[in-house]
Amino acid sequence: MRLVSKIDSLLHNYERHVSLPWYDALSGLQKVWFAVYDKTDERRLRARIDAFELTTKKAGKGWLLCDLTHIFAEWMSAKEYKEIYFESPDDLDLALATF
């Protein structure tokens, strides 16, 4: 008996879903999927992201990877008072409203 990894299971479920035809009434904004996975599997998923892309394209769908990993760091590094936020993290709550 072969044990199936969480990522293999996620990929299998994704493949079943992505193979379904689009409903004609869907707008482009409704043709977006999010893969929900345990944060402890992040590196495993990233190592297999090409399999998700291949599966998507094989099903005749478009693929656009939107990786937001670094967005907070980029936003924070542009803040004039970033050093103060690290000294007093509670002050960041106010700035987060603009994030």
pLDDT-derived band at 95 (thresholds 50, 70, 90) equals confident
pLDDT tens across 67-94, in order? Answer: 888 998 999 888 887 888 888 888 788 7
What's the pTM? 0.71
3-state secondary structure of 10: helix
Paired tokens of 8: 């293999």
91: Cα within 13 Å, side-chain hemisphere:
9
pLDDT tens across 1-55, in order? Answer: 566 789 999 999 999 999 999 888 888 888 887 778 888 999 999 999 999 999 9
